Amino acid sequence: MSLTRDLTHEPKKCTPSMTSPNEKNEQNLTPADQAAGQSVAEEGAVQPAIQSGGQQKTFKDTPLKLESGAALSPFTIAYETYGTLNDDKSNAILICHALTGDQYAASKHPVTGKEGWWEIMIGPGKPIDTDKYFVLCPNVIGGCMGSTGPASTNPATGKAYGLEFPVITIADMVAAQTHLVESLGIKQLFSVIGGSMGGMQVLEWASKYSDRVFSAIPIATAARHSSQNIAFHEVGRQAVMADPEWKSGCYLEENTNPRKGLAVARMAAHITYLSDNALHQKFGRNLQEREKITFGFDADFQVESYLRHQGFRFVDRFDANSYLYITRAMDYFDLFAEHDGILAGAFQDTKTRFCVVSFTSDWLFPTKESRQIVHALTANAANVSFVEIETDKGHDAFLLDEPEMLSAIRGFISAAARQKGLT
């Protein structure tokens, strides 16, 4: 994909104003919301740039050339590893995280203290068995957990990039990952696995670097973002940018933080991760710690309180500008367009083995989009398995305890390991 940079709309340089962050008026949460575990910043409190406590690798002498025509140098990738790399470095599995994920797939998160987001999948004796495989999970470029992103220091100014950070794409994220993989001496990955935006990265790996990927498992994903998904992302971006504390992207220099806007963006996105049936079963029209409606704008319903909790919990671990950049990267992803509208062209002559997974209640990345991937692979006589899993848990099912998914992935990985001679 060729992206042309519009030089008539250069990003604003961040120059601190004389406005004090203490002038802002933070609304208090209702007692019901506080009971639900929500919290907002104290008056004048500012969230620092979020960083990783794990492993990092900085590439100083190899600029990362981006699809926009810009380049990042130096650039850093933060990552976590699990298991042991074997002597011939043939047992490496790359895990690609989703939009709001990070490298802590199977280890405690340094900010939230919670267990890894894919503990159900990764670990000793689990489908991705760390007794057998070396598992590598990097934070994407543009992220906020230690990899270079808009909250990182711009070496040209000594200040946070903000909107001076170049727009990145899924292809740029994967290109950065290739540098990390190469630096570890891994010539071919045994498998690349990920769901949602992670699945987009899997497809990018399989399309651009197929000789480096023995097997691939794209889960709950698509070869391009739909107009509906772009629309949802635009709502989220506008929520962030409408927050007066965003300061045209310069909130770190201004010592502020667009917490409210980012929380609303997260609330809107979180709805898309669930199914109507899942929401109904979990909440219905149940009231939140009250016997009757208040005839006001408090969180009368449990589902309202839940979404507020999800929103304000999210801002403690994520950077607002990173949210803008990563959602835009997903919007730009389009393997069809890169191959003259013919998706099969993305996988021409591929030798990679595939397992494509979808979920019946996922309306964010519906099964029809997974079938498009399968049809494109079949057109190339690729080795592909496909499983559509019956569930009412929506898009987030790939993160949850879905026995059929766990069994399918375990079986596929075991079969691929036998074919590669790892067992």
Catalytic residue numbers read: 196, 362, 395
Is 156 inside any structural domain? yes
The answer to whether position 173 is within a domain reads yes
Q: Do residues 242 and 261 touch, judged by C-beta distance below 8 A?
A: yes
Q: In this structure, is residue 262 part of a structural domain?
A: no
pLDDT exceeding 70 applies to what percent of the chain? 87
The span from the CA of 12 to the CA of 10, in Å, is: 6
pLDDT of residue 52: 45
Residue 29 maps to a domain: no
Of 226, 224, 223, 225, give the one whose Cα is nearest residue 377.
223
pLDDT in tens, 156-202: 999 999 999 999 999 999 999 999 999 999 999 999 999 999 999 99
Is residue 185 situated within a structural domain? yes
Q: What pLDDT does 274 receive?
A: 87
pLDDT of residue 411: 98
What's the predicted TM-score (pTM) here?
A: 0.89
| pLDDT tens digits, 104-156 | 999 999 999 999 999 999 999 999 999 999 999 999 999 999 999 999 999 99
Flag whether 369 is in a domain: yes
How far is 174 from 155, CA to CA, in rounded Å? 23
Residue given tokens 């929520």 in the structure block: 239
- How far is the CA of 141 from the CAs of 33, 191, 245, in angstroms? 34, 21, 24
pLDDT above 90 covers what percent of the chain?
Answer: 77
> Band of the pLDDT at 344, cuts 50, 70, 90?
very high
Is residue 305 one of the residues assigned to a domain? no
Q: Quick check: is 237 in a domain?
A: no
Whether 293 contacts 83, CB under 8 Å: no
Q: Are residues 24 and 50 in contact, defined by beta-carbon separation less than 8 angstroms?
A: no
CA distance 321 to 79: 20
For the residues 74-86, what does the mean pLDDT come to?
97
Residue type, 217: I
Residues sharing a CB contact under 8 Å with residue 289, sequence separation 6 or more, in sequence order: 32, 35
| Radius of gyration of the CA atoms of the chain, in A | 22
Instruction: Output the furthest CA–CA distance in the chain (Å, rounded).
Output: 67
pLDDT at 277: 87
Number of domains in the chain: 1
pLDDT at 276: 86
Q: Residue 287: pLDDT band by 50, 70, 90 thresholds?
A: confident
**For residue 8, what pLDDT band results from cuts at 50, 70 and 90?**
very low
> In the structure encoding, which two tokens stand for residue 6, read together?
């519009």
Contact 103, 149 (CB under 8 A): no
Q: Mean pLDDT in the chain?
A: 89
Q: Using the predicted structure, report yes or no on whether residue 35 has a pLDDT greater than 70.
A: no
Which residue type sits at 37?
A: G
pLDDT at 41 over 90: no
Whether 380 has a pLDDT exceeding 70, the answer reads: yes
Q: Measured in whole angstroms, how far is the alpha carbon of residue 193 from the centre of its chain? A: 13
CATH of the domain at 83: 3.40.50.1820
49: domain range? 44-225+334-420
Q: Could you tell me which of 90, 106, 107 has the C-alpha nearest to residue 191?
A: 90
Of the candidates 187, 243, 227, the residue with the CA atom closest to the CA atom of residue 211: 187
